[in-house]
Structure 1
Amino acid sequence: MEDSGVPGHIDLLPMVNKAGCECLNESDDHPFTQALNSAGGYLESDTDEQLILYLSFNQAVKLHSMRIKAPADCGPKTIKVFINQPHTIDFDTAESANPIQEITLSPKDLEGELITLKYVKLQNVMNFTIFIKDNQTEAETTQISYLQIIGSPVQTTKMADFKRVAGKKGESH
């Protein structure tokens, strides 16, 4: 697990179900997957500055914060955060729906500063939607070099993992 820089929390990227992720309005040359690793490359919007990022986790998680690295001129400015949507929302829904949190980012935030999320409202998250409404300078497209989601897994108990102590199956004590 990569160190998140936040005590008690980890980088949740290993828990992201990449097959369940989707990005609306991504450029074919610069897809969403390039922003999910720090190896280089970037995500860029296609026809305008708006993007919808849908991340699906392979288990329930608690979200604490995130980091976004992006160019100061065309990085995201206003973002809305939604959780546990049954499917990827469209742009009209993202504009009109009430988010869990709305955040206005400064150019300094886009240098990888910690962006704190409303931890109390993000306790049992299976999927996380980020709607990027606009960018810093009203540039034609929006770019994100790296996106890091920080939090912790929700500890759940799988009943199938329990072993019988005594007696036979179906027998009561």
Structure 2
Amino acid sequence: MSKPVEIQSAAQFSSLLQDSPNVPVVVQFYSASNEASKQLAPLFERLSSSLSKRKIATFAKVNTETEGLKALVSKYDVKKVPVFLVFRRGSVEYKVASDDPAKLQSVIEKLASDIENMGGSSSGTGGSGSSSSSGGASWRGADLPRGYTDISDSIDVKGLELLNAETDFPVRALFSKDKPSALDKGKSTSDEKDWVESDTDEQLLLFTPFNSAVKLHTLQITSLPPTDSDDDDVPMRPKTIKLFTNRPHNLGFDEAEDIDPTQTIEIGENDWNSNGTANIGLRFVRFQNITSLVIFVVDVDGDSEKVRLDRVRLIGESGEKREMGKLEKIGDEQGE
């Protein structure tokens, strides 16, 4: 399939989403009489020809003037055209809209690049978050809650700050979309340092600012401490974590100990899955309109004075991006 699928009915549209569970489905809502739609049509055709052939994405078109498609137009709140929606596993993940064809073209090209880099091959994980990714697709340590997405892309990585980490462990590695090297090599003593360990004691303070206000639903933490080390000070998994929201900067350790957190989390041994990931549900009503998150690792599950983090995933709904016009990453309708 190289050309976009021209949707003729709501049933056909639903079937297309069901038949493409492992790759993004990019849908253009357009009008044959709209000038901006006409200008973007060749670009959309080129993207479809390039990415569909390599099974990176599926492309479709919905003519908003078609009487039988009015229900789709209403369901996805399409008020102006052209509008582009990107679906993953049947849910809207991105919505791209603009009255400026040049700006919209820039957004679509970047979106296409992101899709290609994510490498949504047909051999992806489907609904399973425990499988490793191939061909560049994002690795997931645990399943996503229904209706929500990984919003780690909303993090302002330049503003990340991690206190009490050993200096040769990169903080950005925590948010890598790659499978942890400890799992890739079948052991947690990998020489590749794509994880973080604490320095003088078992505590860490991670300041995570966002590019836009977000809603946080779930925190996923992956920790893969070595199991075959004779070192008495081998790092352990975190046990107690405190979360603080909307701080203008990172906290100090004394301050984090003294003030009330937004939520305190106790992680038990049974909370870790086979990927070494704990899937932590947050008190959703307390994590609305969040501009920054401080993650305070208080102590570990053991006697060690070191803690290890391999991956951090933030799951929820992201707000409107501040760059490149109106590029929204959203989850399904809130129903939980």
* TM-score tier (shorter): 0.7 to 0.9
Distance in 1 between residues matched to 2:305 and 2:261, nearest whole Å:
25
AA matched with 2:213: A
Within the candidate set 313, 319, 323, 1:148 is matched to 313
Shift of 1:86: 1.5
Shift of 1:140: 2.0
Q: Which has the higher contact order (CA 8 A, sep 6+)?
A: 1
1:5-55 CA distance string (max 9 Å, x none): 222211111111100110010111223222211443211111110000111
Q: Counterpart of 2:155? A: 16
Q: Tell me how many residue pairs correspond in the alignment.
A: 160
Are the equivalent residues in 1 in contact too, given 2:213–2:290 (CA < 8 A)?
Answer: yes
Q: Counterpart of 2:269? A: 107
AA matched with 1:154: G
Are the equivalent residues in 1 in contact too, given 2:212–2:321 (CA < 8 A)?
Answer: no
Structure 1 residues 19-98: aligned runs within 5 Å: 19-37=158-176, 38-40=178-180, 41-71=194-224, 74-98=236-260
Distance in 2 between residues matched to 1:155 and 1:31, nearest whole Å:
28
Distance in 2 between residues matched to 1:109 and 1:31, nearest whole Å:
26
- Structure 1: 5+ residue stretches without partners: 162-173
Distance in 2 between residues matched to 1:124 and 1:44, nearest whole Å:
30
Distance in 2 between residues matched to 1:14 and 1:155, nearest whole Å:
12
Higher strand share: 1
Q: Given the two structures, how large is their TM-score scaled by the length of structure 1? A: 0.83
Identity value in percent = 33
- Structure 2: 5+ residue stretches without partners: 1-92, 94-137, 181-193, 226-234, 327-336
**Moved beyond 6 Å, runs of 4+:** none
Q: Counterpart of 1:124? A: 289
Specify whether residues 155 and 139 from structure 1 end up closer, same or farther in structure 2 by C-alpha distance, changes over 3 A only: same
Residue 138 in 1 paired to residue 277 in 2? no
Distance in 2 between residues matched to 1:91 and 1:113, nearest whole Å:
24
Higher helix share: 2
Q: Which deviates further from its counterpart, 147-156 or 124-133?
A: 147-156
Shift of 1:80: 0.4
Distance in 2 between residues matched to 1:108 and 1:155, nearest whole Å:
37
Aligned partner of residue 300 in structure 2, secondary structure: coil
Q: Which deviates further from its counterpart, 58-67 or 137-146?
A: 137-146
Q: Given the two structures, how large is their TM-score scaled by the length of structure 2? A: 0.44
Shift of 1:123: 0.5
Larger radius of gyration: 2
1:105-130 CA distance string (max 9 Å, x none): 11333422320011001010000001
Distance in 2 between residues matched to 1:154 and 1:123, nearest whole Å:
10
Q: Counterpart of 1:165? A: none
Aligned partner of residue 237 in structure 2, secondary structure: coil
Q: Counterpart of 1:166? A: none
Distance in 2 between residues matched to 1:138 and 1:106, nearest whole Å:
15
Distance in 2 between residues matched to 1:156 and 1:43, nearest whole Å:
29
Over aligned residues, Cα RMSD in angstroms?
A: 2.4
